[in-house]
Amino acid sequence: MTMHLVGPWLTTTGKKKGKRRFRTADGAAKNRELNAEWKELLARHGVEQEQRRRKRALTAPVLRRPPPSYRGSDQPRIPSLPFTGEVCTKPADKVYTGDKMIGIGTLHKSNAVPVFSSDDAKDIARMRR
């Protein structure tokens, strides 16, 4: 279902509830009275919430984490070689120059196998999966 077919009752905005209001003045007065009694009860028992929270926050130790240790950070640092200024080139391709190998055969999938005799070539050709 697309959103333009749905009515205004389905919304993702305007979900905040406003300030709580009482239906009658009696309800508001009763709430104020209960809050006053609660604070008086806390004071009578020596529990002062806000001061306890403030004191706890001020006396809490500061969290200090150790610096992260990386692999090898505790070992002595060995400097690398200085830059010589030479150009790094690709090495020459390695090519077989002998006369023993007669070719390369494929044994299974892309597995390249050197072939040294005609019997080896026949064996590779006869092999199945």
Residue 38 included in any domain: yes
Q: How large a percentage of the chain has pLDDT more than 70?
A: 88
Task: Give residue 32's pLDDT.
Answer: 94
Task: Give residue 26's pLDDT.
Answer: 94
Neighbour tally for 98: CB within 10 Å = 5
Distance CA 110, CA 108 (A): 6
Residue 100 included in any domain: yes
Q: Which long-range contacts (CB under 8 A, 24 or more apart) does 20-26 make?
A: none
Residue 67 included in any domain: no
Q: Of 60, 85, 115, which closes a domain?
A: 60
Q: Of 10, 44, 60, which closes a domain?
A: 60
Residue 103 included in any domain: yes
Question: Which tens digit of pLDDT belongs to each residue from 26-64?
Answer: 999 999 999 999 988 888 877 777 777 778 778 878 888
Confidence of residue 119 (pLDDT cuts 50, 70, 90): very high
Task: Give residue 43's pLDDT.
Answer: 82
Residue 106 included in any domain: yes
Q: Of 32, 60, 88, which closes a domain?
A: 60
* Residue 44, SS3 per DSSP: helix
| End-to-end Cα separation, the chain, in angstroms | 54
Domain count, the chain: 2
Confidence of residue 108 (pLDDT cuts 50, 70, 90): confident
Residue from 98, 99, 100, 102 nearest 121 by CA: 102
Residue 2 included in any domain: no
Residue 85 included in any domain: no
The two three-digit tokens of residue 100, written as one number? 């023993």
Residue 43's domain comprises 24-60
Q: Is the pLDDT of residue 1 over 70?
A: no
Residue 73 included in any domain: no
